[in-house]
Amino acid sequence: MESKYLQKFYDKTPAERITALHAAGLLNEEATAKLHSGLSLPQEIADNMIENQLSTYDLPYGVALNFLIDGKDYIVPMAIEEPSVIAAASAGAKIIAKAGGFRTTIQKRVMIGQVALKNILDSDAAEQLILSHRDEILEAANAAHPSIVKRGGGARRISVRYLAAVPDEGIPAFLVVHLHVETLEAMGANIINTMMEGVIPYLEHLTGGEALMGILTNYATDCLATAECRIPSSLLGRGSLSGDEVRDRLIEAYQFAYVDPYRAVTNNKGIMNGIDAIVLASGNDWRAISAGAHAYASRNGQYRSLTTWKKAENGDLLGSLTLPLPIGAVGGSINFHPAAKMTKEILGYRSASELESIIASVGLAQNFSAIKALVTEGIQKGHMGLHSRSLAISAGAVGKEIEQLSERLKGEKNMNLATAQTLLAQIRG
């Protein structure tokens, strides 16, 4: 996305950035006006969203630039309090765009709900009974939420899992019935929860067991999204390190996060920096996405990196990220939260699948940038430079003092609150 209006975007004021996006043809008149006047959540809406509501809690809302995904340019809104995340996403996406951009694959969008049955006398017989009555169970589920069926979705399949007892812990056996549901453009938590509670009486009647609960699982293994990139090493050189050396070090960083959970957790936290920020900006449930992502990272029995980085036969760097992304383009607060509506407007996504592609690409860009910094100049140089503004504000700087103090902090060896307070006192002299 080469627009003269977006040059030196970082150096502009927020108002100038909004105007630049408008001038670049990325925001229409209405969206521009809304951004200029702010995206605050009206008190009346907030009061109806949660219980015991008092006020609202603001987060910075910005955009990452340079995303080229499946041949289409995007600027990506993110809501986040942490400095350097948006800068890193934009920088990573810029290199990947030069290499042709991200390619994404969205597997089927099917969500899973569970009913856990206990006190089943003969689990094999109960399983056979359940499977032989699959049509009736699917019918009961669909009858509980007819509107999703009318839209073309609904419960499609059932599967049964036997979870053996753990006598040493006093844990009984469970027979778990999974319902695989197409929730179309919705994430589907409420749709599925309604269905699961709807099938409980029939399952209890059929098996003679007792249902402990019926609920969606956030481990959405039937809703996986993959983003990939292929980067020639000629785009990777940094300082005294050649492109081939940086590529090899990036691959080693992945290998370290593959074998060591201590590293993998932090590696994946970096991925979720970007993913949670866009999931939140889009009005989706970031707790659900985080829980599913971390479980998926442990799918083979050890917590590992969610991304993989390998060398292609011709020496290019190949990056890939796959994770469950059960997000919605409708439902929850997506259609009424002012910032979520703005995110839809800015991204112009036409389906939940398209939003999944964008989110997965953001995660891959974020990981690329983070490990590239880690294996070259280290992360602190860039991070602390950006962190200096937060530190200046924490020290009490206001107005022009923030920029002044932030610049002075960048030259300090010990960039911490005490230094910031001392420098602020000097500035105020």
For residues 148 to 177, the per-residue mask of contacts with ligand NDP, x marking binding by CB under 6 A and - elsewhere, is x--x--------------------------
For tokens 């917590």, the residue is 303
In the set 285, 316, 354, 356, the catalytic residue is 285
Query: Which run of H or E residues covers position 182?
Result: strand 174-182
Residue 62 engages ligand NDP in binding (rule: CB under 6 A): no
The one catalytic residue among 47, 82, 127, 244? 82
* Choice from 182, 222, 285, 356 touching ligand NDP (CB under 6 A): 285
Which residues neighbour 188 within 8 Å (Cβ) at sequence distance 6 or greater?
A: 111, 148, 181, 216, 326, 328, 331
- By C-beta, is 151 or 161 nearer to ligand NDP? 151
Quick one: which of 120, 288, 321, 327 contacts ligand NDP (CB under 6 A)?
A: 288
We find the least distance from the C-beta atom of residue 145 to ligand NDP, in angstroms, to be 7
Cα separations (Å) of 238 from 28, 233, 372?
Answer: 38, 11, 9
Taking CB under 6 A as the criterion, the residue among 188, 209, 324, 338 binding ligand NDP is 188
**332 scored as a contact of ligand NDP (CB under 6 A):** yes
Choosing from 186, 347, 370, 373, the residue that interacts with ligand NDP (CB under 6 A) is 186
Catalytic-role residue among 150, 269, 377, 403: 269
Is residue 147 near ligand NDP by the rule CB under 6 A? yes
Residue bearing tokens 């960048």: 410
Minimum CB separation from ligand NDP for residue 34, in Å? 23
82 is catalytic: yes
Q: In this structure, are residues 337 and 44 in contact, taking their beta carbons and an 8 Å threshold?
A: no
Asked whether 347 and 64 are in contact (CB, 8 A), the reply is no
Q: How far apart are the first and last CA of the chain?
A: 45
Quick check: is 205 catalytic?
no
Q: Does position 113 bind ligand NDP by CB under 6 A?
A: no
Active site residue 383: yes
For 194-238, give the DSSP string: HHHHHHHHHHHHHHS-EEEEEEE-S--TTSEEEEEEEE-GGGT-B
Quick check: 198 binds ligand NDP (CB under 6 A)? no
Say whether 68 sits in a helix, a strand or coil. strand
Element (H, E) at 4: none
Query: CA 221, CA 299: separation in Å to the nearest integer?
Result: 10
Looking at the DSSP bridge assignments, the partners of residue 226 are: 105, 322
Closest alpha carbon to 192 in 181, 200, 201, 204 = 181
Candidate residues 65, 88, 191, 347; the one interacting with ligand NDP per rule CB under 6 A? 191
- The correct pick among 182, 185, 228, 356 for binding ligand NDP (CB under 6 A) is 185
Q: Which of 27, 91, 99, 187 binds ligand NDP (CB under 6 A)?
A: 187
Closest to ligand NDP by CB, 186 or 246: 186
Q: Which of 372, 281, 366 is nearest to 323 (CA)?
A: 366
269: annotated active-site residue:
yes
Supply the residues annotated as catalytic.
82, 269, 285, 383
